[in-house]
Amino acid sequence: MTSPYGLLAELTYACPLHCPYCSNPLTLSDYGDELTTAQWQRVLGEARELGVLQLHVSGGEPLQRRDVVEIVRRACELGMYTNLITSALGLSPRRAEQLKAAGLDHVQISIQAHEPTQSDRIAGTRSFDRKVAAARLVKELGWPLTLNIILHRQNIDRIADIIALTEQLAPDRVELANTQYYGWAWRNRDALLPSRPQIERAEAVVRAERARLAGRMEISYVLPDYYSQYPKPCMEGWAKRQLTVTPNGDALPCPAAHQLPLPRANVREKSLAWIWTDSPLFQRFRGTDWMPEPCRSCARREIDFGGCRCQAFQLTGDAARTDPVCILSPDHEIVAEVVRAANEGARPREEVLTPRPHPSRVR
């Protein structure tokens, strides 16, 4: 069994944004009893002993936690590489200087669109100008900067404008990631899934811009699962190299696994080492022995590991099924039908979205 190298610490699900593609759970109120500062610091110590080298501090919005600087400082003291994944709302010059002094290594900022009106509409709050200012602040302080843009039906046609904006902000890396349909994105899937022509036009733009900007900034483009022949390897394989800890202390093999009907594993009750090595949750889909056909006899079984367990559960009701995204899956018609619906000619480009609400908090 390999040791994990990455920990995603979801400090809180509180967030000033209302993004309709958010992957946070639909039952946000279940996570109001957040881990304390001391509990997070203990978890970080256990993670480092387990072999974790990278800490990704996320949420919700991690800057909503007043102790985020203390948590980052502890991770740096343990020798972890630290990455702040943020909307940038709350990244004031003072807070940024504190995080810099604490040892934070990298900042990733989300951008919703290329201009204020559309960006603020998607985010559900006025935020575009503050995001741009924060990105410039990050560069001024000498941090490596990644800009993350979630693509969907309502912004993908402006991908050239989005890249032009990112070029002005001079990030080291740009992630153009098509929406993954979990959490609130699952609820809004019909309004978010692009059409095939939209995907093809976006791919052409990305190819041209990668060539033009080669050596200046890295552009990563993630195709929507629903338009792929084969699924992506979920988290490099279930409980293989990474894990997530949610605000209430639940430990998960991937951020979306909270929805699966499997036994819980919580850091308030068990050590991270026991959870990683022995818990039924982390053991359930580890390796390939659990696989049904056609995965069991497929040459790709150790490439994509049967695809995403959460996606299989959402689409079929059975987390042990072959991911229906796969063209070899007996359930592939489920995905094919969704794609056909997304390509109906009369369908409007901008549809009504259900915004992610603000969760109630205890801390």
DSSP H or E segment with residue 221 = strand 218-222
Alpha carbon distance 236, 3 (integer Å): 13
345 preceded by cis ω (within 30°)? no
Known binding residues for [4Fe-4S] cluster: 15, 19, 22
Residues of the binding site: 15, 19, 22
- Helical packing angle, 128-140 and 159-169, nearest 10°: 40
Structure tokens at 237: 């394989």
Edge-first strand listing for the sheet containing 6-10: 218-222, 173-178, 145-151, 106-111, 81-86, 54-58, 6-10, 242-245, 251-252
Q: Which structure tokens are listed for 71?
A: 């948590």
CA 114/CA 118 separation, integer angstroms: 8
| Residue 100 burial (CB count, 10 A) | 16
Q: What is the DSSP string of 20-33?
A: TT--S-S-GGGG-S
The pair of structure tokens assigned to 118 is: 């559309």
Query: How many other CB atoms sit within 10 Å of the CB of residue 204?
Result: 12
